[in-house]
A and B are shown apart, each in its own frame.
Chain A
Amino acid sequence: MDESRRKTLTRAGAASAVAAAVAAGILRPQDVLAAWNKDAFGQKTLADALKSIGAAVAADSNDIVIDAPQIAENGAVVPVEITSNVPNTKSIVVLVEKNPFPLVAKFDFLEGAVPFVKVNVKMGESSNVRVLAEAGGKYYAALKEVKVTIGGCGG
């Protein structure tokens, strides 16, 4: 059995077995997705958040394109559009360095998805938006500074 077929089975093929288990009440539907990484999302500094996802070391890359406005009128909604041109990108991670909890989102791209995403994030204050791309077991990084005129975390 070649590698790509084996990988497919671990996702799609397993899905039907999992579906049967879910229907039988053995597995809860939420168990099918990767469990929410409470530890990583709970880290309060950029360094700790990066370490907790195994991205303490990340090479700067020009192949990660971050399209976001330099100035956000309100930090409650800051639109960020990311394209990773790093070959074989498996995930894109979004962090807002100065947020109370820097890790904002992690998108895993399985077979059939383009490593592209647009997401609206909350920024508590002007900060760098740091984007990581994971490919071939390594992390690559880029950042974009966004100035926020009014912070948007609430409270």
Chain B
Amino acid sequence: MADPMKIRAGLKGDIADVRVLMNHPMETGQRKDGSGNLIPLHFIQEIAVKLNGKTVIDAQISQAVSRNPVFSFRVKGAKAGDKLEISWLDNRGERNSTETSLA
């Protein structure tokens, strides 16, 4: 996908309202494919939100988070030009990250 992850962030004073969209199957391991075989577990396990390189939110999630997850967070002490980076790691060891500058 062109952009498998996207951050939408807005500053209100010194609080950044952050929304992050992720493209990920978040397979529970309970679904079956067309041939009746179970589709294996495949889901994001860890997410990190960093402001200017410093981790501010550290999340552990399960396969019970919806497919193509969308999260909203709030980070304080932020100002225009600050770098916001969000990354994830899944159960297969695959990872992705994206960043944006706060405006």
Contact = CB atoms under 8 A, between A and B. Distances in A.
Contacts of B23: none
Interface of B: 15, 27-28, 30-32, 38, 45-46, 48-49, 51, 53-67, 69-77, 89, 91, 93, 95
A115 B88 CA distance: 20
Nearest to B45: A36
A104 B65 contact: yes
Closest 8 CB pairs of A and B: A155-B30, A118-B72, A114-B74, A154-B31, A120-B66, A112-B56, A113-B56, A36-B45
Interface stretch (A27-35, A57-65, A139-147): A27-35
Contacts of B72: 81, 116-118
B75 A155 contact: no
Given A15-B53, A119-B69, A96 B28 contact: no
Interface in A109-155: 109-114, 116-122, 152-155
Contact of A112 (B51, B70, B91): B51
Contacts of B74: 113-114, 116
Contacts of A101: 62-64
Interface SS majority for chain B: strand
B78 to A, nearest CB: 8
Nearest to B46: A33
A78 B65 CA distance: 9
Nearest to A38: B45
Interface of A: 11-12, 15, 29-30, 32-34, 36-37, 41, 76-78, 81, 96, 99-101, 103-114, 116-122, 152-155
Contacts of A29: 89, 95
Nearest to B61: A105
Given A15-B55, A33-B89, 15 more contacts: A36-B46, A76-B67, A103-B62, A104-B64, A106-B59, A107-B57, A108-B57, A109-B57, A113-B49, A113-B57, A114-B73, A116-B72, A117-B72, A119-B61, A122-B65
B28 A154 contact: yes
Given A33-B89, A113-B56, A153 B65 contact: no
A99 B45 CA distance: 18
Nearest to A103: B62
